[in-house]
Structure 1
Amino acid sequence: MKSENRKKKHSFKKIKKHNNFLTGIINITHQGFAFVKTKEYKKEIYISKYKINKSLEGDLVKIKLKKYRKNKLEGEVIKIIKRKTNNFIGILKLNFQSKYNYGSVTVHKLHVDILIKTNLKKEYHDNKVLVKIISWPNNSEKPLGKIIKIFGKPGEYKTEIQSLLEEYGIPTGFPKEVENEANKIFLKSKNDNASSIIRKDMRNVTTFTIDPIDAKDFDDAISVRKINSNIWEIGIHISDVTHYVKEGSILDREAYYRATSIYFVGKVIPMLPKILSNNICSLQPKEEKLSFSFIFNINDKGEILKNWFGKTIIQSDKRFTYDEVQKIIDEKKGDFHEEIYTLFRISKMLTKNRLKNGAIFLEKEEVKFCLDENKNPISLYLEKCNESHRLIEEFMLLTNKKICEFVSKNKKNSTKIPYIYRVHDKPDYEKIFFLKKIIKPLGYSFDSKNLKNSINLLLKQSKGKPEQNMIENLVLRTMSKAKYSTNNIGHYGLSFLYYTHFTSPIRRYSDIIAHRLLYSFLKIRNNKKNEKNKIKTTDFYEKQSQHCSNRERLAIDIEREFSKYLQVKYLKKFLGKEFDGIITGFTDWSVYIDLLSFQTEGMVKLRNIKGDHYTLSNTNYSIVGKKNKKTYQLGDKIKVRLLDVNIEKKQIILDWIEKKF
């Protein structure tokens, strides 16, 4: 131990001699003390609450190294280089005892309140607000702020959605000039009959869409035509958004900035104005629509005999929901039952081939909500992926794969153009090792040398068991994040060498890029030499790819956070009730438990577990009782009672019941 301390002191002297001043991002706890991560030092540097010097969570700070204390390197903030932000969202509390209605704003992500010295209306008390820090006087322990926007009472649907959009910087409406351009496109499209001249006419072929019951933007349609007893022609028709959204236009720049639609329960923030997304571009039934299509002939063995890519004009015969199609599959009767059952049969062959080639088969249940007329959650259910969902998924996967193969394999030096790929790297093997250690006590084995088969076997074996959701989440955490890139490394999870996103241009800008580049490639192949001059550099498309990836991750984060708000609000009605749970994680202070009925995590504080004093083990995989030495580990089944919920912090507080179910 003494030797270890001597090494640490020596290490500190070495760093101090080299550089006594470091910079990094500060992470401040609710207790006020903080940690700073720097490039020069592997471990985080401890900052006492008396030495953070008016810094706030996430700020870029300059610190001065001081000394080791309790095996921690300690420092002091000497300068705030850059605030992460000056704008915060919190709850306004007015002080009615003062002469004026002054108050403060409590921000759950900050360790201090923000003082407000402006006379405000009494009805704003306990409202959620946007506050801007305007100063931090030397003689004040708290910063001074100004109210910028008032959202309403916390916990209400409108308040939570508007404040969340504000926090993430998501615009709710479109600028006037964007709406004007969209309206002009709409009016022009009414008289645009010339488009059908250069397109393959598919209007007389049986065509339909299959979507969720509440969908309004229909990106894709499927056409089916029987060639003979063994061969079918199938067309995957994708809305030709790029016919309307011209590159470099005001509308295009707005779509690029947004990069994706964001889907909340009960509300959509679209990438394109609704007159486009829900009207002109949407492949609605009984209306002529412009599309970009992949059409192929396929036999009873699932072999593609020939294919074609190009612009088309279609007319959907019917709009199906997933439930309607599932009923037709189950009963083998109904509108277009022969076509639908043929598609279902082919989709099963496509799934089988994907799995045979090494694809990972992960089908998580999605948490869904039913809202009342006031947008309050009145019920929660877990939606399973059924055969109608898989039918559509397989044909979209096939289309994205085949289009990407077509461009990538047919490039020649004279027609070499960049393309946007959807790539997925190999898993993090440290996380795979962690997964292996976690599942072993639960009775599961894992062969790291045969990774994909092991993952699929693990997912299959855990299906229907209490630990299923935990294992699926652990598997997801081992995986790299899929992203967009001009550098093709393949898609590990799907086991595809070539893959792109082409099938959702109404809601994803990446697909718009893919459409434009494919169309340019087709024109170049048809000896339209001037087309090559219109294509930008690879660096240009790589920058666009990175932007689309970043906006996608932001959309995922905001959708998850809003879903968590609805889960917490829904659970409020079950206070005092007992539930079954699975231990999914530990910290020094808490145990996290997945409530099986709701697939959401709650928290039990270690100090509140009755009967013993529990501490985190050295492995971080279990907690151990000080007196009885009883051990609880990840995956253990626990009974809990719902004590409280905090909608603002999106926390579920549980009480530990001393028994397993």
Structure 2
Amino acid sequence: MHFHNKKNFLLATGFINITSRGYAFVNVEKFEKEIFIPKKKTNRAIEGDLVQIKFKENKKLGKKTEGEVIKIIKRKRNKFIGILKIKDHSKYGSVIVDNKKNIHVDIYIPKNKLKGYKNNEKVLAKIVEWPKDLKNPLGEIIKVFGLSGEYKTEFFSLLEEYRIPYEFPKKVEDEAKNIVMKKELDINLRRDMRNINTFTIDPFDAKDFDDAISIRKLSFNTWEIGIHISDVSYYVKEGSNLDKEAYIRANSIYLIGEAIPMLPKILSNDLCSLHPKKDKLSFSSVFNVDNKGKILKSWFGKTIIRSNRRFTYEEVQNIIEKKKGDFREELLTLLFFSKILTRKRLKNGSILLDRVEMKFCLDKNNNPTKLYLERNKDAHRLIEEFMLLANNKISEFVSLNTNGEIPNKTYIYRVHDEPDFHKIFVLKKIIEPLGYFLDLKNIKKSINCLLRKIQGKPEKNMIENLILRSMSKAKYSTINIGHYGLSFIYYTHFTSPIRRYSDIIAHRLLNYYLTKDQSKLKSIEFYEKQSQHCSVRERLSIDIERNFSKFIQVKYIKKFLLGKKLDGIITGFTDWSIFIDLLFFQTEGMIRIRDIKEDIYTINSSNYSIIGRKKRKIYHLGDKIKVKLIDANIEKKQIILEWLGN
């Protein structure tokens, strides 16, 4: 950072942070305090730009140092997605950018550049110039996504916003086609498990089948259970175009009604998928267990399998409940063992979050027509428990010698840190008015106890969401710190290589160790960089999935539920709004504090309650209140509520 003195002014450079209200701050090295830039002095800067500022240092205590932008050195971005508004009488159209964090002003499009565009279209606009005398930048439209609020429009504009490629480059598609043409099944070095009863269990609408399970009885008290994962790394060779593209994407993204796969469909839905009645290559974990569920022997290696049958979760659930149907005995035995695994995990302190997912039915135009809640049943838990087992045992196998010493092999772990204490404290504050308690000295035990108590209660979902939010984010790393939520010392992701690149890395590394082919092994820095990239892409996918799900939700509410009265729980305050969790929906709506009619409310300094000026009534975090759905803004993906009080 350069300081010159220009007639008592200091000059410096830094990145600008512009608030939605138009004033800004610049962080300058060597200064503890940010430098405040008034609204009139941001001089055409946009959020995140590298700017040069001049300022006079204010030595007075508590006084802010003010400055002004004198030059824009480098723009952070010049393309923005927004909604085009065209008014007849004005000489500009304006693009109103959805994401105010990206730019705080609308972009004006001169009339002569509006030919062929319509009011309310969602567009990508580029800033062309920003004349000194104009409050707004001038731009042009470079892409149209369609009318705002339509499925296709939101889908493609969201992909653009997050820079997610929809199609694969031709050379990647060609490479995939070649692999499918060759259809090589290398059988010579594989354990042949084709004659053992094997099946897949997946959602009814699944396209890619990563995992299969086999089971057979070896003696009166010993069973062999195989967890077979598609051998993607056999087909996707390191360094190929296919591999590079899969790495860039790092995972498949599942939006309601559409999936954006990590690998081209001829691989993900076809060649690599473990379809029934077909010989398929897999990477397997095979366990011998006794009738008490104790593991007597483990084997890891490459196999060839042939699934007998494809089940949906519903079908398996049905067989479990009615105790009749295909592979009844196998399924019930697997269920028996999975329950032993669950019990053991809980005894070790694993947190058992039993999530309910909100699902939508879409019509042929992709408009939501029905909403239903789906909860995990035994069929889901059965599969999940065996996937956890494989992920846990594989990382143990790599990380420990048979005598329990640590051999120091590089591996990719799925790690999960302890929760953030402040967030746990906020959780405690919200659940107390609802009659629940958290012991901060024994968080894990206390959370499991809480999870048991909320079963069947209307606030179950909301509290589970809050628990999830208070937890750290799980991520990938070569440095193993264990998995807090699952209470595993060793854990990896191995079971979904069709849809996660992290699992391909886990496959490659395990294969190097099994074949003792260490020549291909790269440096630990290489795998750490890959791990970090997978973690970043995962967060991005979660954001885009949530964002799109909110759009479908808001659209559903706007069509079917306006005017409805609902129960909500207060989950947060800001200076001018209150966040309300709608119990029926697992979603959040907001109310502006000034829109509450019963009194004039102000927020208490701790941010955990509001108080009425006249009646002195206090509302705390966690209080139950009644609200009415008065509007749903599809553009902003916001649900607007009216306060009816408690």
Aligned-pair CA distance for 1:83 = 2.9
What is the aligned partner in structure 2 of residue 572 from structure 1?
558
Aligned-pair CA distance for 1:481 = 0.9
Aligned-pair CA distance for 1:569 = 0.6
Counterparts of 1:563 and 1:338, CA distance in 2: 39
Aligned-pair CA distance for 1:611 = 2.3
Counterparts of 1:363 and 1:588, CA distance in 2: 34
* Residues 1:232 and 2:226 aligned together: no
Q: Indicate which of 165, 170, 176 corresponds to 2:159.
A: 165
Whether the 8 Å contact between 2:18 and 2:104 is mirrored in structure 1 is no
Q: C-alpha offsets along residues 52-90 of structure 1, whole Å, 9 cap, x if unaligned?
A: 221223434455555599967353342444433211100
Taking the TM superposition and a 5 Å limit, the aligned residue runs for 1:501-650 are 501-524=493-516, 531-573=517-559, 574-650=561-637
* Residues 1:308 and 2:299 aligned together: yes
* Residues 1:468 and 2:460 aligned together: yes
Whether the 8 Å contact between 1:624 and 1:630 is mirrored in structure 2 is yes
Whether the 8 Å contact between 1:92 and 1:104 is mirrored in structure 2 is yes
Aligned-pair CA distance for 1:396 = 0.2
Aligned-pair CA distance for 1:567 = 0.7
What is the aligned partner in structure 2 of residue 651 from structure 1?
638
- In the alignment, structure 1 segments of 5+ residues that lack a partner are 1-16, 525-530
Letter of the 1:392 partner, please give it. I
Aligned-pair CA distance for 1:119 = 3.1
What is the aligned partner in structure 2 of residue 134 from structure 1?
128
SS at match of 2:156: helix
Counterparts of 2:174 and 2:153, CA distance in 1: 29
Counterparts of 1:339 and 1:85, CA distance in 2: 57
Counterparts of 1:44 and 1:570, CA distance in 2: 43
SS at match of 1:124: coil
Whether the 8 Å contact between 1:467 and 1:635 is mirrored in structure 2 is no
What is the aligned partner in structure 2 of residue 267 from structure 1?
258
The structure carrying a bigger helix percent of its residues is 1
Counterparts of 2:421 and 2:141, CA distance in 1: 48
Whether the 8 Å contact between 2:399 and 2:409 is mirrored in structure 1 is no
Between 120-129 and 42-51, report the one with greater CA deviation: 42-51
* Residues 1:32 and 2:22 aligned together: yes
SS at match of 1:197: coil
What is the aligned partner in structure 2 of residue 326 from structure 1?
317
Q: Indicate which of 238, 254, 262 corresponds to 1:247.
A: 238
CA-atom RMSD in angstroms: 2.3
Between 437-446 and 156-165, report the one with greater CA deviation: 437-446
Q: Indicate which of 137, 159, 169 corresponds to 1:143.
A: 137
Letter of the 2:127 partner, please give it. I
Whether the 8 Å contact between 1:216 and 1:278 is mirrored in structure 2 is yes
Q: Indicate which of 38, 47, 59 corresponds to 1:48.
A: 38
Letter of the 1:281 partner, please give it. C
Q: How many residue pairs get matched?
A: 631
Aligned-pair CA distance for 1:458 = 1.5
Aligned-pair CA distance for 1:28 = 1.8
Taking the TM superposition and a 5 Å limit, the aligned residue runs for 1:92-131 are 92-97=84-89, 103-108=93-98, 109=100, 110-117=103-110, 118-131=112-125
Q: C-alpha offsets along residues 158-208 of structure 1, whole Å, 9 cap, x if unaligned?
A: 00000000000000000000000000001011xx24x11111111110000
Aligned-pair CA distance for 1:464 = 2.7
Between 133-142 and 350-359, report the one with greater CA deviation: 133-142
Q: Indicate which of 476, 484, 488 corresponds to 1:484.
A: 476
Counterparts of 1:170 and 1:494, CA distance in 2: 31
Counterparts of 1:441 and 1:40, CA distance in 2: 46
- In the alignment, structure 2 segments of 5+ residues that lack a partner are 1-7
Counterparts of 2:420 and 2:536, CA distance in 1: 20
Q: Indicate which of 54, 57, 65 corresponds to 2:47.
A: 57
Counterparts of 2:452 and 2:211, CA distance in 1: 31
Taking the TM superposition and a 5 Å limit, the aligned residue runs for 1:278-317 are 278-317=269-308
Counterparts of 2:113 and 2:37, CA distance in 1: 36
- Determine what percentage of the aligned residue pairs are the same residue: 64
Whether the 8 Å contact between 1:415 and 1:521 is mirrored in structure 2 is no
Counterparts of 2:9 and 2:396, CA distance in 1: 53
Q: C-alpha offsets along residues 347-400 of structure 1, whole Å, 9 cap, x if unaligned?
A: 111000001011111122111111011000111122111111110110000000
TM-score (norm 2): 0.93
What is the aligned partner in structure 1 of residue 5 from structure 2?
none
Taking the TM superposition and a 5 Å limit, the aligned residue runs for 1:315-394 are 315-394=306-385
